[in-house]
A and B are shown apart, each in its own frame.
Chain A
């Protein structure tokens, strides 16, 4: 255990010190986004690794936080235009998100496996069309020009630290839950729902609580996101970004909490830096002109995704584990013995 905490602490310290030597763009744009996406992804990883629930509704909760803040803060444009101060709006938005997560959680808690995935996807699509069609709250144009509290306005580094603090809070909370009675019960529900039910545990309620808890952190990320991004519209919570979140969690490794931030880092990094495959310039011809030209970087992302998934079912953290097991076979045997089914019980 010590080694894991030590390593995480090391990364944490590094992230705290990052603004001292990273460029403004790297800290204020890339890493802030990585931390926010990692925060939402961690809520998904928590649900799937502890509760066996691979949810596609976490991104909806994230988005609803943004729409809630937008509706409360804006004074012009679309939506309710309540003109509230940012901080109270944040509190209300978090309450709304947590409540929404509770509703979605209790509606979905009795479904499992692929059906849970599908039901949460349905809620995500409903959310997309709700904010698209109901112009009272948004419409397809979305909420634009939303300013963060004065404390964060024009201070990207402060926002970075805000995202870092929230990420740390989420990490510590999720880790603490893992070892709490609630967490242990949840793991029981993940592995043996029938036995847990016959032992007297209220299985749907445990699932609902877990979902609500995760929803709070997804909402927190959503509030940070609209402060950072300044806008949100229905396409922000469409099916594409919803699946992107799953991709982030999976490429990071959906069974490891740390994998959430690792996946976000790979995803954002690939989007920004991997617009072309290095060394491709020399291939030339049709392949370079049409198949893998610079503007085809979605193809590159897709290939990366395939590569990671073909190589390792447990994402990047799984790749690292394999490299490690090649070096130290002993440790890996031990690891395998306790490894949880990487598909989250989806067989």
Chain B
């Protein structure tokens, strides 16, 4: 296997003969959503990547010790297992949120090749709406205590926000994207236009101040873990993410629509030829993709609040995750979320103390390394 494009087929569409390309795809990847390629072969394919991974692991486990190398804020995993575990949990829980948002993005791209630049504003809009609905349900706008928020007071606003998000996604797809299917760049710019308009309108309607949604009171507790304190609300966030992921998996693997979508990812022309209403499938995909962005928006509003700028931030987060994982692959989105979430958590904790400012650069350099080494991401395949 070569380094670039696995089989040197980034230009697959020029090879003439869709059959060849599809057969190769099937043999190599068994479809975008059903890859059998495991992480070991992914990492093992690239020597320098493996070496770097080992070096970083060694650093975290033993070398990053406060006493005998340069000081890091966490200390080595051997000396401070609690800090290590907390950092790991931080990474996993954040990855959950990342996955919910990014899986919607990658679903849309996987089927339609649409880079939905409006994904971030849909996320933020849902967050704002969920906050408004929650405030109306609790009956006050300020100083909401967690105890006042029942589980329903969190789930219902989340669903309302997500439903509106999904509706906007479908309307955008039907009005603006349906008739120019296949023109990647044009679609990206059109969704960018939608994003500019929606972001500006949200600034006008919701103002510039940050607002927060409350986690349900039942989930706001703390527990001790190796001497460190940890919040159950973060685990709740992970649980919601796992639930969303499970439902998505069931939908894609156990329903007719899901099977059609998976087939469409691999060979749209064949699906069309079989007489399936592709437009309905596209609309459904945009519905689910935007719904996921909406669920993520409510989770994000509870996790870090909603404010202007969060839209761009989360569009970027989604892009990073799906680029790392491989555009169009839900499994890749899971892998990308884990990788990105872990790096975001570990970089500030395990960089030498005077260099923690650079943690964010480390994240992006990692992304660049992944892309240079594997141009289509960990689980991606050439278009």
Name A's B-contacting residues (CB within 8 A). 54, 107-108, 110-115, 118-119, 121-123, 125-126, 129-130, 133-134, 192-194, 239-240, 243, 246-247, 250, 254, 290-291, 293, 296, 298-299, 301-303, 305-306, 309-310, 313, 342-344, 346-347
Contacts and interface: CB of A to CB of B under 8 A. Distances in A.
A291 B201 contact: yes
Interface of B: 4-5, 10-11, 13-15, 113, 115, 117, 176, 180, 182-186, 189-190, 192-197, 199-201, 204-205, 312, 316, 319-320, 323, 327, 357-358, 360-361, 364-365, 367-368, 371-372, 375-376, 380, 383
Give 6 closest A-B pairs by Cβ, nearest first: A302-B196, A302-B197, A305-B193, A298-B200, A346-B184, A306-B193
Contact of B327 (A115, A125, A130, A305): A115
Given A133-B358, A133-B360, A122 B193 contact: no
Contact of A118 (B15, B182, B323): B323
B364 A306 contact: no
19 contacts: A108-B372, A110-B5, A114-B113, A114-B184, A115-B380, A122-B367, A123-B368, A126-B364, A126-B368, A129-B360, A133-B361, A194-B15, A239-B312, A290-B204, A302-B193, A302-B197, A302-B200, A309-B193, A347-B184
Residue among B182, B183, B184, B193 facing the most chain A CB atoms (10 A cut-off): B193
A122 B368 contact: yes
A121 B183 contact: no
Contact of B185 (A111, A133, A306, A343): A343
A310 B371 CA distance: 32
Contacts of A129: 360-361, 364
A110 B201 CA distance: 40
Given A247-B192, A302-B196, A133 B375 contact: no
A306 B189 CA distance: 8
B156 to A, nearest CB: 27
B200 A299 contact: yes
**Residue from A123, A125, A293 whose CB has the most chain B CB atoms within 10 Å:** A125
B30 to A, nearest CB: 21
A82 B163 CA distance: 56
A192 B197 CA distance: 38
Nearest to B182: A347
A310 B179 CA distance: 10
Given A121-B319, A306-B194, 6 more contacts: A133-B358, A194-B14, A194-B15, A298-B197, A298-B200, A346-B183
B323 A344 contact: no
A38 to B, nearest CB: 18
Contacts of B190: 306, 309-310
B329 to A, nearest CB: 13
B115 A114 contact: yes
A107 B375 CA distance: 10
Contact of B196 (A107, A123, A301): A301
Nearest to B316: A239
A118 B312 CA distance: 15
Contact of A296 (B185, B201, B320, B383): B201
A140 to B, nearest CB: 11
Contacts of B194: 302, 306
B185 A346 contact: yes
Nearest to A290: B204
A296 B327 contact: no
Contacts of B380: 115
A313 B186 contact: yes
A194 to B, nearest CB: 5
Contacts of A122: 320, 323, 364, 367-368, 371
A43 to B, nearest CB: 17
A54 B186 CA distance: 12
Nearest to B371: A119
Given A119-B368, A133-B357, A250-B189, A111 B375 contact: yes
Contacts of A303: 193, 197
Contacts of A305: 189, 192-193, 196
A347 B13 contact: yes
Contacts of A115: 10, 327, 371, 375-376, 380
B153 to A, nearest CB: 29
